[in-house]
Amino acid sequence: MLYLVRMDVRLPADMPPAEAEEIKAREKAYSQSLQREGRWPHLWRVAGEYANYSVFDVGSHDELHGLLTSLPLFPYMDIAVTPLAQHPSAIA
């Protein structure tokens, strides 16, 4: 199942820089492992924002929920999920 996911990150202004860097490092490692596994095949930055659009390829809504809630930055994110279906006019 494919999902388009927008993630907007909002770190607290008073978060110590060392804590923010540690969380970002864990986020990067986790996201890259999911990319290598093929469950996070696309990741794009939104220009000028601390946000991204991603495509996840997972087996169920519950699997996606588990992946998203396991993101180290999850407590600081606003997330919007759109399930995707094959378009009848698509050639691929």
Listing DSSP states for 23-75 in one string gives HHHHHHHHHHHHHHHTSS-EEEEPTTSSEEEEEEE-S-HHHHHHHHHTSTTGG
Residue range 41-89, pLDDT digits in tens: 999 999 999 999 999 999 999 999 999 999 999 999 999 999 999 999 9
Task: Select 2-84's CATH number: 3.40.50.300, 3.40.1790.10, 3.60.20.30, 3.30.70.1060.
Answer: 3.30.70.1060
Residue range 2-51, pLDDT digits in tens: 999 999 999 999 999 999 999 999 999 999 999 999 999 999 999 999 99
Distance CA 13, CA 57 (A): 33
pLDDT given at position 89: 97
What number of other Cβ atoms are within 10 A of residue 64's Cβ?
A: 20
Q: Which of the four pLDDT bands, split at 50, 70 and 90, describes residue 92?
A: confident
Global pTM exceeds 0.75: yes
